[in-house]
Structure formats: structure tokens, C-alpha cells
Homo-oligomer: A and B are copies of this chain.
Amino acid sequence: MQKYDVIIIGGGINGGSIAYQLSKRNYRVAVLEKERIASEASSAAAGMLGAQVEPRIDGAFFDFARKSRDYFDQLVPEIEQVSDQPVEFLKNGMLRIAFSEEEANMLKERIAWQQEQGEPAEWLSADQVYQMEPELKAEIVGAASFPKDGQVMPAQLTKAFFKGASNLGADIYEFTWVKGLLGKNGVITGVETTSGRFYAEHIVVAAGAFTPHLSLPDGASLPTLTPVKGEILAVRPEKPIITSTIYSPTVYIVPKANGEIFIGATEREGIYDKIVSFESIRRLSAEACRIVPALRSAEWSRAWAGVRPQTIDGLPYLGPHPDFKGLWLAAGHFRNGILLSALTGVWMADQIEGKADHLEWKDAFDPGRHSQKGVIP
């Protein structure tokens, strides 16, 4: 029998961030991962920190996202030092291009409310964009420029979190399957695994798309999360051809620190497999080469897929389970798992310590917000 302060189920980026922050605060932490660290969505993402390019409306999500993004400035040097693991953090900005006046207007509105919030955002004419990115050749109306939105290498950041946590004393159990959560009378006290039982005062489920498959006592179940498969590919140009991340309605094109360009991503709802379909290769290559024709001469590298977990309202579950004491959720980050990871670790640690006082976030990300009679749908 193993006894910890906190058990984290899931070896992905958010499990890692939580493990790291709790270890820093001197909690005794165990992480249970069914396979290996960073083997699912956390290593499949493009790694964009699109705090401004992603949110459609002002509100708690935007607030959390931009604060998480800004926190990378402080977190990255710290975690690289603790872990000896580079994460290839770049602050190269994003250009969200518009093909129609309608899109342009939508983006201009977004720029307006983001500027009100004090975030840098600017509308660029087509000519200004072509000057910034001369290899962008598609006919566009213009683009929204979000200069603070950057990127990391997601698998490397995930590993950095776990190496950091481990160096601070956390125990990482790979190849350890959770068969079910233990407890009774509405209190969760432990976890039944293929390596025996683990007990802790707090148990955090950060299992991404696998979250719904964990079983609770008394037939209760964790929230349904819709899997949304994303397919993505990488090419390697001989010389850099774009500087900013280019983000269109149909494709994004992300120049990475290692010289590769990531091109993504599809959204295929309800699919758990990690197969890349030939159609997705066809569509992504056609779209990317249309927008940046210089990509044609880039070297093909590889393609892969990951499964993102989506909640009903698209917002993550970050907080206590509504019906079980001792049980916490940090799941459902959908397309924004990397972006939100920096702050997710801090926010979950704050809540577990009873120090969380940001009411707007509490409400917005409350795992019980859709529940009726003890069932999170």
C-alpha cells in the first residue's frame, strides 16, 4: 500500500503541470500513467499558445488563457532549469488571416475587445501581411496580428514538467493502469491499479480523453468527454520561409524552433483512434500549399494524430467533483491543453490548498456546472 498527499491520474501535460506545482509546494505526489509520459494528446499537439487567436468571446476562458500564456515567460526558464529539458519556447506571434470581409469583420471585433482588455492586437491590411510574410501568397483581405501568442514543443514541455516534479520528489508510475477509484459514502480515498492500491487525501483526474473510462464507486461515472481526433503533419523547408504562425479557417501553419513546420489540424468528432487518414493528408497539403506555395519544395517529414477531449460547453473541468469529496478534475482542455497547462497546475494546486479565490474561474470551470443529481453529463 502506497500513501501520498495527492495522486494524479494521467501522464499528460496538465497532469505534469499539477504534479510540478504541488511538488514545489512540498506535497508528496504520485502520478499514475497507463503507458508512458506524454504518449497521447500532449505529444500530438502543435504547441501553439494561442491565447488571443483562439477565444471567440471575452470572459473567463479568455482571461485564464491569456494569463496562462503570460505565465510561460516566468515558467519556462524555471522548468528548463529544474528539469534540464529544453522546451523550445518561441514568441513568434500569430497571424489570423481572413479570406472574406465577413471573417475580417469578425476578427476586427475580436481585436477591439482584446485591446480593451489591454492585449496587443492589430488589424493588418493584405499588403502589410504580404510584407511581413512574403511567402504567404493566398489572396486575403487582411489578418489579425496577435504578437504575444507564441509556442512550445509540447512533448518536451510535458517531459520537463515530469522531470521537474520527479527532481522535486514526486513518484511517476508508468505502465500503471487505473482500474477504478476507491471509496465510499461519497468520499474517494484511493485508486485500484494494476500495480496495487494507492491512497491519498486528494485524487486528481487529468486523464484527457480517457477520463470518462475511469469507474467510480457505486456505479457513478466521470463526465463524458467527446473525443475529437486531430491530424497533423510536419515538413522541413531548406531555409525558414515564414516567421509567424499563420492561422486560417481551414489550416494552421506553425514554424517550429527546430526548423520544421507543423501543419494542422483536422477535427474529427467521436473518434478515438490515432490513424491519419489519406484524405487529411490530401486536404492539409492542398490547403497549406495554396496559402504558402513555397512549402511545396519543403521536405516531407511525418504525420500523426491525437485525441482531444471536449466538454459540452468547450470549457475545461478544473475543480472538485460535485459529488465525491477528495476527487478533483482537470480535464476537457480540448484544443487548448498546451496553452492552458501553465496556469492549470497553479490553479489546481491553489484549489487543493483551499487558497483559490478567483470566483469567475471557479464558476466557469466548475466540474459540477452541468450536473443534475450527481451526474456530470
Contacts and interface: CB of A to CB of B under 8 A. Distances in A.
A272 interface: yes
Contact of A272 (B88, B194, B258, B277): B194
Nearest to A289: B282
A274 B299 CA distance: 10
A303 B235 CA distance: 12
A275 B296 contact: no
Interface in A85-136: 85-86, 88
A323 B116 CA distance: 66
A286 interface: yes
A176 B272 contact: yes
A282 to B, nearest CB: 4
Contacts of A86: 86, 88
Nearest to A219: B219
A276 B303 contact: no
Nearest to A210: B177
A163 B240 CA distance: 10
A261 to B, nearest CB: 9
A71 interface: no
A252 to B, nearest CB: 16
A180 B214 CA distance: 11
A273 interface: yes
A140 interface: no
Interface string A268-311: 00001111111111100110110000011111100100000000
A215 interface: yes
Nearest to A295: B278
A174 B299 CA distance: 13
A280 B88 CA distance: 30
Contacts of A166: 239
A194 B271 CA distance: 9
A179 B213 contact: yes
A312 interface: no
A282 B299 contact: no
A277 B289 contact: no
A182 to B, nearest CB: 13
Contacts of A26: none
A103 to B, nearest CB: 24
Nearest to A303: B300
B281 A285 contact: yes
A282 B279 CA distance: 11
A239 B215 CA distance: 32
A213 B177 contact: yes
Given A179-B213, A281-B281, A275 B258 contact: no
Interface string A181-203: 00000000000001100000000
B258 A278 contact: no
B285 A278 contact: yes
Given A213-B177, A213-B194, A272-B175, A279 B296 contact: yes
A150 to B, nearest CB: 13
A33 to B, nearest CB: 11
A279 B303 contact: no
26 contacts: A84-B257, A163-B259, A166-B239, A175-B273, A175-B274, A177-B272, A179-B213, A179-B215, A194-B213, A194-B272, A195-B272, A235-B278, A275-B299, A277-B296, A277-B297, A278-B285, A278-B288, A278-B289, A278-B298, A278-B299, A278-B300, A279-B297, A281-B300, A282-B286, A282-B289, A286-B286
